Amino acid sequence: MLPICLVWLPLAVPAFLPPSSAAFAPDKSQGYDYIIVGGGLSGLTLANRLSENPGTSVLVLEAGSTHFDDPLIDIPGNVGMVLGNSSYDWNYVTVPQPYANNRSFQYHRGKGLGGSTSINYMVWNRPAIAELDAIGGLGNPGWNAEDWFRYMRKSETFTHPEPEFAAANNLTFIPEAHGDSGPVHTSFPIFISDAQKPWEPALSELGLLRVKDPLAGHNVGIWMGQSNVNNKTQKRFSSSEAYYRPIANERPNLTVWTSAFVTKILVSDHQKEAPQSREGLLSIPGVQYQKNGETKYAYVKDRGEVILSAGFGRSSQLLELAGIGDPRILEPLGIDVKINLPGVGTGIIDQLLWGVSYELKNSSIVTLDDIKIPELKAAALAEYDANKTGLMTIGVTAYSLVTLDDLVGHRKATEMIDIQATKISRGNFSQTQKEKWNVIINGLRNPSEVGLVEISGFPAFFTTAKIGKKYLTFLGHYQFPFSSGTVHIVSKDVNVQPAMDPHYFEDNFDSQVFIESTKLIRKMARAGGFADVLGDEIDPGMRVQSDEEILEYVKNFSATAYHTVGSAQMLPREKGGVVSPELKVYGTNNLRVVDMSVLPLQFSSHPMGMLYGVAEKAADIIKSSISV
Ligand SMILES: Cc1cc2nc3c(=O)[nH]c(=O)nc-3n(C[C@H](O)[C@H](O)[C@H](O)COP(=O)(O)OP(=O)(O)OC[C@H]3O[C@@H](n4cnc5c(N)ncnc54)[C@H](O)[C@@H]3O)c2cc1C
Ligand SMILES: *[C@@H]1O[C@H](CO)[C@@H](O)[C@H](O)[C@H]1NC(C)=O
Ligand SMILES: *[C@@H]1O[C@H](CO)[C@@H](O)[C@H](O)[C@H]1NC(C)=O
Ligand SMILES: *[C@@H]1O[C@H](CO)[C@@H](O)[C@H](O)[C@H]1NC(C)=O
Ligand SMILES: *[C@@H]1O[C@H](CO)[C@@H](O)[C@H](O)[C@H]1NC(C)=O
Ligand SMILES: *[C@@H]1O[C@H](CO)[C@@H](O)[C@H](O)[C@H]1NC(C)=O
Ligand SMILES: *[C@@H]1O[C@H](CO)[C@@H](O)[C@H](O)[C@H]1NC(C)=O
Ligand SMILES: *[C@@H]1O[C@H](CO)[C@@H](O)[C@H](O)[C@H]1NC(C)=O
Ligand SMILES: *[C@@H]1O[C@H](CO)[C@@H](O)[C@H](O)[C@H]1NC(C)=O
Ligand SMILES: *[C@@H]1O[C@H](CO)[C@@H](O)[C@H](O)[C@H]1NC(C)=O
């Protein structure tokens, strides 16, 4: 660990202060040891761990509200209901995507304590061992699967299913893979739709093998999935329920302010000429934020730190607004470049998912479609309230992770991989880009270790159902796209959403994967195991047949999986990195980023499990790097 903060010279009255600023002068005795921007997954994990020491003062500034005891968040069956509601959701949108008919994709992001863990789909899984080790391999010493798994287990308390229920539904797990005393409660859903039950028999007809527990480091095959739902209460266990609520009134030195929108990382204008430490590193005195219509300031103590956990699109925005980023982005906007870090906001990678929906032959089977019918929803809510059982406890349980071999056969897969590898090695791409793509190529060449496309069985229609009909939607979810893009500010105004440009469908390999996965889904749906259950394909429907038609369908009707990474990558600085393996922003003394932005590669899993591991590890890194 680098020794940091050797010298932290007191600031003169900094230029950022408003003119009549005596009252605002940074009184460091009133400052915090840590200011955390964003009370989402990462922010609240850090807040909890850093404030374990009662002598450490922590301030969390969260733009949204508290959301305690809100049934729209708590009840699993209400999943999706708050998307688009600005009390819970930032409602971003991508810039028009030229390779997808210039479509602008909706992009939901959680707002309020818990961040996106308060509005997400509660899918609880983890990447494979090889993927986590690859993060270290890019030049991040200290990051490896063994350590990561230890921290992932630390975050979790897994409730074993009742043996009878497990046997009846093939719920299998490996106890040692799970935590038994961490803050996040996880479990198998206790309501499994009959529409999902033929999953394993049907998919195994296609040669896919059973995974005993995808959280144990090997996840290629078929499995029954888990959720971050507390089995006892049958409530969603967001980062707020897990890491904040139990200590909300217990730690006098932990301050959490909601409705506090951070508008600026403070950087003194003097610092460019007079660096604040021996190494010439930039020191961040604190942040500016808005609360109740007022502009306010919060400062860190000497040796204190500011930690950005504002999530994808926001942490990098605050860096760029502070003059930390690519001069080609900052200068045209009239922003003084404080640290030339061209990696900020570049190299983002997003995953897409899309649905192929089948009508069920038996419309009496209970699926999530039922809650569109008011009387059925009222009955389901009554049962949930009285007994914590029934439809409102539903979760997705039917999953598979398939490989390129599964999609196109081994010979064609090898051919496709060779063509892609040649394109990468001959192309005029940066070394870092090549290195990152070669990690994907390695994964493709080792399909028993790393999967490519998740296909799950969602017990409802994906888009618009006919009332009274029931559906099973196969969700395709491509894990390792080669297409890669940017997110950059387009204005000095913090209220203007940065331009998010993931370059969906830019790489032709990706398009082939979307087409071939759709074909595999159709084979799954027609496997014998589903013969008695699934009727007609409704979406896209059998009129969509050619590769071009399939691709057009996916382009028009896919959605982000909300797993975007890479806007402040953890990589060596000379490789375009923004943060070090200690998650410190290069060129700064006391500024870190801890959230989804720092991951330089995608994973074959939904992010929560993995990211709690990052935040837990970050807390230990921060605790051991500083003597407050
Ligand atoms: C709709 C949806 C479904 C998903 N489904 C799943 C799933 O099923 N399984 C899974 O594993 N993952 C899922 N995810 C992804 C997962 O929830 C996120 O990857 C994870 O929450 C990201 O954590 P984070 O700490 O990076 O950011 P977040 O958890 O999003 O937290 C960021 C926080 O910062 C706050 N903030 C932002 N800007 C500011 C500012 N300027 N000032 C103050 N506060 C600010 C935000 O309001 C937010 O609370 C889903 C995400 C979404 C949006
Ligand atoms: C809060 O932290 C300060 C040191 O920063 C310490 O003096 C004080 O005792 C702590 N308060 C409590 C209630 O522990
Ligand atoms: C959005 O959420 C708020 C808070 O729960 C609620 O009062 C409001 O009715 C919701 N708006 C819509 C359009 O659903
Ligand atoms: C997308 O928009 C660009 C710029 O407006 C335009 O040149 C292009 O033709 C459009 N492409 C499609 C497929 O509509
Ligand atoms: C349970 O698993 C066994 C063994 O893999 C399989 O034969 C059976 O069809 C499965 N049953 C269900 C309901 O998934
Ligand atoms: C989990 O919850 C279900 C439904 O309330 C209950 O039947 C079961 O006993 C619980 N499991 C454990 C281990 O408590
Ligand atoms: C239809 O599903 C219901 C509920 O699962 C079940 O009770 C019924 O027997 C099924 N009918 C047929 C014809 O399979
Ligand atoms: C709750 O469970 C009890 C016992 O199984 C049952 O009698 C009752 O009808 C249930 N309540 C609701 C509202 O479903
Ligand atoms: C390679 O790309 C760089 C950066 O985009 C560009 O400056 C250079 O001209 C390109 N070289 C060739 C041979 O195309
Ligand atoms: C896809 O979207 C484009 C642009 O909106 C539209 O022209 C085209 O007809 C759509 N195709 C399908 C199959 O929906």
pLDDT tens-digit map of 174-232: 999 999 999 999 999 999 999 999 999 999 999 999 999 999 999 999 999 999 999 99
Q: pLDDT at residue 621 above 60?
A: yes
Res 279: pLDDT: 60
Q: Is 472 left (phi over 0), alpha (psi -120 to 50) or beta?
A: beta
For residue 601, give the nearest of 618, 617, 577 by alpha carbon.
577
pLDDT higher at 30 or 288: 288
Q: Is 384 flagged in the annotation as binding?
A: no
Q: At 30, is the pLDDT very low, low, confident or very high (cuts 50, 70, 90)?
A: confident
* Counted domains in the chain: 2
**Residue 553 corresponds to which tokens in the numbers above?**
């369908």
Q: Is 120 flagged in the annotation as binding?
A: yes
Residue 44: strand, helix, or coil: helix
**Ligand 3 center to residue 84 CA distance, Å?**
10
Residue that is last in its domain, among 528, 560, 592: 560
Does 419 map to a domain? yes
Q: Which of 11-25, 370-384, 514-528 bottoms out in mean pLDDT, i.e. has the lowest? A: 11-25
Asked whether 51 lines ligand 2 (CB < 6 A), one says no
Res 468: pLDDT: 85
| Domain at 382, CATH number | 3.30.560.10
- Write down the mean pLDDT value for the chain: 93
Does 627 map to a domain? yes
Q: pLDDT at residue 594 above 60?
A: yes
Q: pLDDT at residue 345 above 70?
A: yes
The residue whose C-alpha atom lies closest to atom 6 belonging to ligand 3 is 87
Residue 473: strand, helix, or coil: strand
Q: Do 457 and 543 belong to one domain? A: yes
Asked whether 98 lines ligand 4 (CB < 6 A), one says yes
The Cα 307–Cα 59 span in angstroms is 10
Cβ(56)–Cβ(50) below 8 Å: yes
Which DSSP category does 366 fall into? -
The Cα 318–Cα 14 span in angstroms is 19
Using most ligand atoms within 8 A of CB, pick from 375, 376, 383, 391 the residue to mutate for ligand 8: 383
Asked whether 556 lines ligand 10 (CB < 6 A), one says yes
The residue whose C-alpha atom lies closest to atom 8 belonging to ligand 7 is 364
Q: Do 361 and 490 belong to one domain? A: yes
Q: At 280, is the pLDDT very low, low, confident or very high (cuts 50, 70, 90)?
A: confident
The Cα 124–Cα 110 span in angstroms is 17
User: What is the average pLDDT across 453-478?
Assistant: 90
Q: Do 102 and 62 belong to one domain? A: no
Q: Do 477 and 387 belong to one domain? A: yes
Q: At 161, is the pLDDT very low, low, confident or very high (cuts 50, 70, 90)?
A: very high
Does 19 map to a domain? no
Asked whether 85 lines ligand 10 (CB < 6 A), one says no
For residue 188, give the nearest of 223, 157, 225, 237 by alpha carbon.
225
Using most ligand atoms within 8 A of CB, pick from 108, 117, 494 the residue to mutate for ligand 1: 117
Res 24: pLDDT: 43
Long-range CB contacts (< 8 A, 24+ apart) of 506-510?
506/99, 507/481, 507/482, 507/483, 509/416, 509/420, 509/482, 510/478, 510/481, 510/482, 510/483
Q: Is 121 flagged in the annotation as binding?
A: yes
Q: For the chain, what's the residue count?
A: 628
Residue that is last in its domain, among 511, 538, 560: 560
Q: What are the pLDDT digits (tens) for 423-462?
A: 999 999 999 999 999 999 999 999 999 999 999 999 988 7
Does 595 map to a domain? yes
Report the Cα–Cα distance between both ends of the chain, in Å, rounded: 16
Q: pLDDT at residue 115 above 80?
A: yes
Res 2: pLDDT: 31
* Alpha helix segments (H runs only) across 295-373: 315-321, 327-330
Q: Is 366 flagged in the annotation as binding?
A: no
Q: Do 69 and 82 belong to one domain? A: no
Contacts of 311 (CB under 8 A, 6+ apart): 38, 40, 42, 109, 110, 115, 116, 595, 596, 597
User: What is the average pLDDT across 13-18?
Assistant: 35
**∠ CA 475-481-482, rounded to 5°:** 165
Using most ligand atoms within 8 A of CB, pick from 101, 102, 103, 504 the residue to mutate for ligand 4: 102
Residue 585: strand, helix, or coil: strand
In the residue annotation, 488 being an active-site residue is answered as no
| Domain at 168, CATH number | 3.50.50.60
**Ligand 1 center to residue 226 CA distance, Å?**
19
* Residue 609 burial (CB count, 10 A): 25
Asked whether 54 lines ligand 2 (CB < 6 A), one says yes
Q: pLDDT at residue 25 above 70?
A: no
In the residue annotation, 563 being an active-site residue is answered as yes
Res 626: pLDDT: 62
User: What is the average pLDDT across 495-507?
Assistant: 98
For residue 197, the ligand 5 atom closest to its alpha carbon is 13
Asked whether 388 lines ligand 6 (CB < 6 A), one says yes
The residue whose C-alpha atom lies closest to atom 12 belonging to ligand 3 is 85
Res 134: pLDDT: 98
- Burial label, 526 (beta-carbon count in 10 A; 0-12, 13-18, 19+): middle
Residue 48: strand, helix, or coil: helix
Asked whether 438 lines ligand 2 (CB < 6 A), one says no
Res 411: pLDDT: 98
Q: Which of 108, 218, 503, 563 is catalytic?
A: 563
Q: What are the pLDDT digits (tens) for 140-153?
A: 999 999 999 999 99
Residue that is last in its domain, among 560, 595, 620: 560
Q: Which of 185, 477, 488, 606 is catalytic?
A: 606
User: What is the average pLDDT across 90-108?
Assistant: 98
Q: Counting ligands in written order, which one lies closest to the CA of residue 69?
A: 3
Does 24 map to a domain? no
Does 17 map to a domain? no
Q: At 342, is the pLDDT very low, low, confident or very high (cuts 50, 70, 90)?
A: very high
Give the percent of the chain with pLDDT over 90: 90
Q: Is 494 flagged in the annotation as binding?
A: no
**Residue 121 corresponds to which tokens in the numbers above?**
């789909």
**Ligand 5 center to residue 201 CA distance, Å?**
6
Q: Which of 76-85, 427-436, 459-468, 515-524 bottoms out in mean pLDDT, i.e. has the lowest? A: 459-468
CA dihedral 208, 212, 216, 219 (to 10 degrees): 10
Q: Do 609 and 467 belong to one domain? A: no
Q: pLDDT at residue 7 above 70?
A: no
Q: pLDDT at residue 365 above 90?
A: yes
Query: Within 13 Å of residue 8, how many CA atoms lie on the same side as its CB?
Result: 16
Beta strands of 563-603 (E only): which ranges?
A: 591-593
Asked whether 279 lines ligand 7 (CB < 6 A), one says no
**Ligand 7 center to residue 193 CA distance, Å?**
12
Does 5 map to a domain? yes
Q: Do 533 and 476 belong to one domain? A: yes
Q: At 29, is the pLDDT very low, low, confident or very high (cuts 50, 70, 90)?
A: low
- Burial label, 412 (beta-carbon count in 10 A; 0-12, 13-18, 19+): middle
Asked whether 463 lines ligand 10 (CB < 6 A), one says no
For residue 101, the ligand 4 atom closest to its alpha carbon is 13
For residue 539, give the nearest of 466, 613, 619 by alpha carbon.
466
**Residue 99 corresponds to which tokens in the numbers above?**
């390779």
Beta strands of 16-149 (E only): which ranges?
A: 32-37, 58-61, 92-93, 106-107, 123-124
- Burial label, 558 (beta-carbon count in 10 A; 0-12, 13-18, 19+): buried
Res 462: pLDDT: 72
Res 461: pLDDT: 85
Q: At 475, is the pLDDT very low, low, confident or very high (cuts 50, 70, 90)?
A: very high
Asked whether 30 lines ligand 2 (CB < 6 A), one says no
Q: Do 400 and 274 belong to one domain? A: no
**Residue 607 corresponds to which tokens in the numbers above?**
């992010």
Asked whether 190 lines ligand 6 (CB < 6 A), one says yes
For residue 401, give the nearest of 358, 451, 443 by alpha carbon.
451
Q: Do 181 and 214 belong to one domain? A: no
**Ligand 1 center to residue 611 CA distance, Å?**
11
Asked whether 194 lines ligand 7 (CB < 6 A), one says yes
Query: Within 13 Å of residue 260, how many CA atoms lie on the same side as its CB?
Result: 21
For residue 362, the ligand 7 atom closest to its alpha carbon is 1
Does 18 map to a domain? no
Q: What's the pTM value of the predicted model, to 2 decimals?
A: 0.94
The Cα 79–Cα 236 span in angstroms is 10
Q: Do 138 and 207 belong to one domain? A: no
Using most ligand atoms within 8 A of CB, pick from 164, 165, 169, 170 the residue to mutate for ligand 5: 170
User: What is the average pLDDT across 314-326?
Assistant: 98
For residue 496, what are the domain limits? 76-124+189-230+350-560
User: What is the average pLDDT across 498-508?
Assistant: 98
User: What is the average pLDDT across 272-296?
Assistant: 80
Helix or strand holding residue 487 (H, E): strand 485-488
Q: Counting ligands in written order, which one lies closest to the CA of residue 83?
A: 1
Give the percent of the chain with pLDDT over 70: 93
Q: Do 264 and 397 belong to one domain? A: no
Q: Do 540 and 435 belong to one domain? A: yes
